[in-house]
Structure 1
Amino acid sequence: MSSMPRTRIDYGSHPAQFGYLYTPLGVDGPVPVVMLVHGGYWSADFNLNLATTLASELARRGLAAWNVEYRRVGAGGGWPETSADIEAALAATATLLPEQSPVPLDTADVRIVGHSAGAQLAVWVAGQRDCPVRPTRVVSQAGALDLASRAATRSGGAALTALFGVSYADDPELYRSASPLHRVPTGVPTVCIHGVEDVQVPVAASRAYVDAARGACDRAVLWEVPGEGHNDFLNRTTRSWALTLQAVVDQDPWSIR
């Protein structure tokens, strides 16, 4: 399947501070921007290629997709460098992207999609109320949204210690400051999608987040996907993939039952 037109845009001077802007063909008016934040344990072992197929598909559907790379552990990253990059990439949707986009962008409608560790970053940046760009919605795919509980498990502890440079036991407040569950309300409507069979990030993380968000008067909904797991979001034949497109594109996904 052919890719849509894309433009490389550097939002900083570090080699990892860039993204590809995918734009639709044959559009006249301004189009919404969807920022994509890939996952992969915040590690340099993974890169923005994970979101390339979704970026192309969104452009095919008439939106601009901003697929961002960022400093990761092993590539200049860690906390707060990684989070600073996500905030800078979001801010760039109002400055650098309109200057370099081949189509007009609706910079008042910026949506964010993140997968796994990328979902943690996406929901985290939605809570940065002093960021010059406030997203109109966030879509969390299998999000690592409860870092404090995850740090206590054998599966999540090592990646988080590498990200923060310190264990949860030694600095629990640092973990909570980065944990979406502990940062509600964000004031940004959120759709969490999670496979029931996910073993890397159990669905309980999204359940806890949505309960907390609603309790804090945020608009949040959880779509659980029976029979699918963590990486089904990367496969365009799955229900997780279809629901992601619905959550990003539909006018009011929060009212869907």
Structure 2
Amino acid sequence: MPRQRIDYGPEPAQFGHLYLPADPVANPVPVVMLIHGGYWSADFHLNLATSLAIELARLGVASWNVEYRRVGAGGGWTQTSADIEAALAAVGDLLPAHASIPLDLDNVRIVGHSAGAQLALWVAGQRDSPVRPERVVAQAGAMDLAARAAGRTAGAALAAFFGARYEDAPQLYRDASPVHRIPIGVPAVCIHGAEDIQVPAAASRAYRDAAVAAGDTVAFWEVPGEGHNDFLARGSRSWDLTLRALLDEDPWSAPPA
């Protein structure tokens, strides 16, 4: 599947790969922005989401798989969040200039895995963004960074990401946590493996409950027998449900069969 590298900023990690459907289209196609996970660390790269990006393009949408500054690659919360905002804005100003087919900029969707899900929900809640997504799909999302830090779960990774311990900057952690930012005004589907031991499924369930109570439209799909990284495996139930959540006209109308 051909791809185009597009730089959305001057820093080495400020780029993404754009994949387009191979067949000619007459009507504008939706755009899906993909945000990979990996503890916000430079040890992990956008290739984690490449297979999904290619599959989405094969299924008829434009996919925008973004890299961003991470801890160890010029990143931290300030830089990383700025990059995710810029990558989303690029959907409206940079991508149309590079695309050989028309893009439907009123039909932008975001999917993120793990740490990427935190970033996806966070940027979806930025109401002043020049591009507002039509939906967001959170795979095994880290929904409450404040609670994880307070409970000393992934505390070192979070301290490195924020440049401060939770005890010294609790509001900073809350401001970045999806569960503390509701309502975001964007429909979401939260998908989580029941056997996830890295980020328990209870995190997505709690987010759904709180977001719905605050007025957001949110579905929570728990996947029996699968864990944190099954989202990266083509043909897994988590993979198939992600495609459904991104591509179905109304994934909120009924739970998955």
TM-score (norm 2): 0.97
Per-residue CA distance 1:144-187 (angstroms, 9 max, x = gap): 01111111234321111010010111110000000000000000
Q: Which residue number corresponds to residue 98 of structure 2?
A: 100
Equivalent runs, 1:24-39 vs 2, <5 Å: 24-26=21-23, 27-39=25-37
Post-superposition Cα deviations, 1:198-217, rounded to whole Å, max 9, x if no partner, equal: 01101111011111100110
Is 2:254 aligned against 1:256? Answer: yes
Partner of 1:18: 15
Contact 1:39 1:46 in 2 (8 A): yes
Q: CA RMSD in A?
A: 0.7
Equivalent residue, structure 1, for 2:167: 169
Which residue of 64, 67, 71 maps to 2:65?
A: 67
Report the equivalent of 2:47. 49
- Give, in whole Å, the separation in 2 of the partners of 1:180 and 1:78: 17
Displacement, 1:229? 0.2
User: Is 2:215 aligned against 1:204?
Assistant: no
How far does residue 28 in structure 1 lie from its aligned partner after superposition? 2.2
Q: Number of aligned pairs? A: 254
- Alignment check: 8 A CA contact 1:7 1:101 kept: no
Contact 1:199 1:229 in 2 (8 A): yes
Q: 2:203 and 2:54 mapped to 1: Cα distance?
A: 29
Contact 1:32 1:105 in 2 (8 A): yes
How is 1:1-257 mapped onto 2 (pairs within 5 angstroms)? 4-26=1-23, 27-257=25-255
Letter in 2 for 1:35: M
Superposed CA offset, 1:10-68 (max 9, x none): 00000000000000012221100000000000000000000000000000000000000
What is the CA distance between 1:102 and its match in structure 2?
Answer: 1.7
Percent of aligned pairs with the same residue? 72
Q: Which runs of 4+ in 1 moved over 6 A?
A: none
Secondary structure at 1:80 match in 2:
helix
Query: Using the alignment, how far apart are the partners of 1:136 and 1:74 within structure 2?
Result: 32
Amino acid paired to 1:65: S
Please state how far the C-alpha of 1:237 moved relative to its aligned partner: 2.0
Distance 1:7 1:32 in 2: 17
Cα separation, 1, equivalents of 2:61 and 2:235: 21
Letter in structure 2 aligned against 1:52? T
Query: Which segments of 5 or more consecutive residues in structure 2 lack a partner in the other structure?
Result: none
